[in-house]
Amino acid sequence: MSDFDSAWKEALDAYFEPFMAFFFADAHREIDWSRGVEMLDKELQQITLESEQGRRVVDKLARVWRSSGKEEWVLVHVEVQSQEEKAFAKRMFVYNYRLFDRYNRKVASFAVLGDNRPAWRPDRFGYELWGTEVGIKFATAKLLDYAADEAALESDSNLFAPVVLAHLKTLETADDDEARRVSLVRQVKELYARGLDADEIRRLYRVIDAMMSLPKPLAELAWNEIHDFEQEKGMPLISTAERIGIEKGLAEGLTKGREEGREEGRQEGLAIGARRSLLEGIEVALEMRFAAPGVALLDEIQRIEDVELLRKILGAIKHADSPEALRPLWPKS
């Protein structure tokens, strides 16, 4: 099943400014990006728990400064909705007024509609009673509107264009895993054609891979093709794919173990090789999933001798919400 949730959350965290420029250019021009962006996700979680207005796919809250010359910060509230939902517009209204009430600041609400229903385009909610009118009109972006011109997405220099294309291709290949595999490989190759640096390619690869999830055999086939492409072009930037890190690490461990076993004994050599490869796989997986905060755990993990525990840690990285969620897996030093 495609993981739109984690993919969009990572994309918004990494590319919030390109996101605003891609979908909501007028608002983007009025934000002073030199002053930075402060994400207020924990604060938004409090609002959403209080309101309990239905299922969310992705929601983000950011504090930004206006570039109008006035010393004023405002709030940007973003919702990404990947399926039609009757109460969606009402939820946008509830979150907007709750945020205004809590912060006493202007709140701009934006919705990205990533569903497969062309006619579903909520952009307002309100009511009138005896001369009293209450409501909201919010800005929306319908992803299906971008599907007609894939070439434009492929040539767009905005770093959010590959995210949009991956989402659209995921919808398009919902019932065709082989077509999805072909599309995933093509999109990863296109990342190299964009001339991006290694970190950007890895980050976008994580997003695309999460969105365009495949059954294990096809996922491995896709990765092998990407790996061969890297070797052919002399651009080994992604290295080990996180999703097959366990199998790859174990295979390398067996190979190294057999080689080292000539001198140190086969069993000991297998253990040494397996541990070394698992540590390498863990390092890459931590970097791909959590960037620097994940790599910061390596000092602790490298002190672990238990191969089975290392294998457990590597398997847990894919499903962990944060680096801190992994710490309970090993004894405190």
Contact status, residue 285 vs residue 318, Cβ threshold 8 Å:
yes
Cα separation, 249 vs 312, whole angstroms: 12
Instruction: Count CB atoms within 10 A of the CB of residue 41.
Output: 13
Residue 71 is assigned to a structural domain of this protein:
yes
pLDDT by residue for the chain (333 residues), tens only, comes to: 566 777 898 899 889 999 999 999 999 999 999 999 999 888 887 777 655 544 445 789 999 999 876 778 999 999 999 889 999 999 999 999 999 999 999 999 999 999 999 999 999 999 999 999 999 999 999 999 999 999 999 999 999 999 999 999 999 999 999 999 999 999 998 988 888 887 788 888 888 888 888 888 888 888 888 888 887 877 666 544 444 444 444 444 445 544 544 444 444 544 565 677 678 778 877 877 788 888 888 888 888 888 778 888 887 887 788 888 888 888 875
* Residues 12, 125 within the same domain: yes
Q: Tell me the two tokens of residue 291.
A: 């960037």
* Residue 95 domain boundaries: 4-146
Residues 104 and 180 in one domain: no
> Looking at the domain assignment, is residue 190 inside a domain?
yes
Is 0.75 surpassed by the pTM of this model? no
Q: Domain boundary at 182, 212, 238, which?
A: 238
Examine the domain organization and report whether 141 and 8 are in the same domain.
Answer: yes
Is residue 111 within 8 Å of 141, Cβ to Cβ?
yes
Answer whether residue 159 is part of any domain. Answer: no
270: left (phi over 0), alpha (psi -120 to 50) or beta: alpha
80 occurs within a structural domain: yes
Convert 108-151 into a string of H (helix), E (strand) and C (coil). EEEEEECCCCCCCCCCEEEEEECCEEEEEECEEEEHHHHCCCHH
Same domain, yes or no: 192 and 292? no
Residue at 151 is within a domain: no
What pLDDT does residue 253 have?
45
Count: domains in the chain: 3
Same domain? For 296 and 311 the reply is yes
Distance, in Å, from the CA atom of 142 to the CA atom of 121, rounded to the nearest integer, reads: 7
CA dist 234 and 104 (Å) reads 54
How many CB atoms neighbour CB 124 within 10 A? 12
Looking at residue 274, what is its pLDDT?
65
Q: Where are the alpha helices (DSSP H) in the chain?
A: 4-14, 16-23, 25-29, 41-51, 88-103, 150-155, 161-172, 177-193, 198-211, 216-233, 245-264, 266-290, 292-295, 298-301, 307-317
* 162 domain-assigned: no
Say yes or no: 139 and 13 in one domain.
Answer: yes
In a domain, 55, yes or no: yes
